[in-house]
Amino acid sequence: AQSVTQLGSHVSVSEGALVLLRCNYSSSVPPYLFWYVQYPNQGLQLLLKYTTGATLVKGINGFEAEFKKSETSFHLTKPSAHMSDAAEYFCAYSGGGADGLTFGKGTHLIIQP
Amino acid sequence: DAGVIQSPRHEVTEMGQEVTLRCKPISGHNSLFWYRQTMMRGLELLIYFNNNVPIDDSGMPEDRFSAKMPNASFSTLKIQPSEPRDSAVYFCASSLLLMGTRGNTIYFGEGSWLTVV
């Protein structure tokens, strides 16, 4: 069965510091990987996704993620954190087709002033 | 463009009452998903439809839950009777699945926040 693991339910960084949110997956088929962000009291918004091709994927708000098949990882990074980045971040997996996404438990990103 | 529209945004109901959550997917999308979000279990896929047909309802917790999609622009999730443990945020999401494509983006609504007392 496919699964997604996000290491760290809470991550705290200082404003201006590097953001690194970790995601690992397990899958028997080539994965399609997503990062979503959820701001308080709102729905989920797509940050970026990997389907095929370039393994370094750039998304909105300065975020990017790199698909590493050998490490079964899809970590999310941003060079310099901003206060507005404080939110819940979800890594998700899809095996393709019409089925829905399998989500990780989420990582709450806290930005310290 | 209008996104996925859910109603009600907030619902407080008494245990034993029937709850109906409604969803209008993005126009032209052919796949619709219902998710439930709780602190304990995170985001869980309850059921999804493709071309108005339920494909997989294995995530529906029990018979008290039912979902319908009578047409391409409307879906409901019903809980009858409701229980306090059903308190959660229920998200509807939609996607356009094209033959031969994969990794389609799923777009989420703002959620329906349900509290059962």
Instruction: Quick: pLDDT tens for A17-75.
Output: 999 999 999 887 778 899 999 998 889 999 999 988 889 999 999 999 999 999 999 99
Whether A59 and chain B come into contact, CB under 8 Å, resolves to no
The shortest CB-CB distance from B56 to any of A44, A45, A99 is to: A99
Residues 20-49 of B with CB under 8 A from A: 31, 33, 35, 42-43, 45, 48
B62-115 per-position pLDDT tens digit: 899 999 999 999 999 999 999 999 999 999 999 987 766 667 889 999 999 999
SS3 B1: coil
A91-102 per-position pLDDT tens digit: 998 876 556 788
How confident is the model at residue A29, as a pLDDT?
75
Min distance A91 CA to chain B CA atoms (Å): 11
Structure tokens at A88: 């819940």
Residues with Cβ < 8 Å from B114, sequence gap 6 or more?
A: B11, B13, B19, B21, B79, B82, B86, B87, B88, B89, B90
Residues with Cβ < 8 Å from B100, sequence gap 6 or more?
A: none
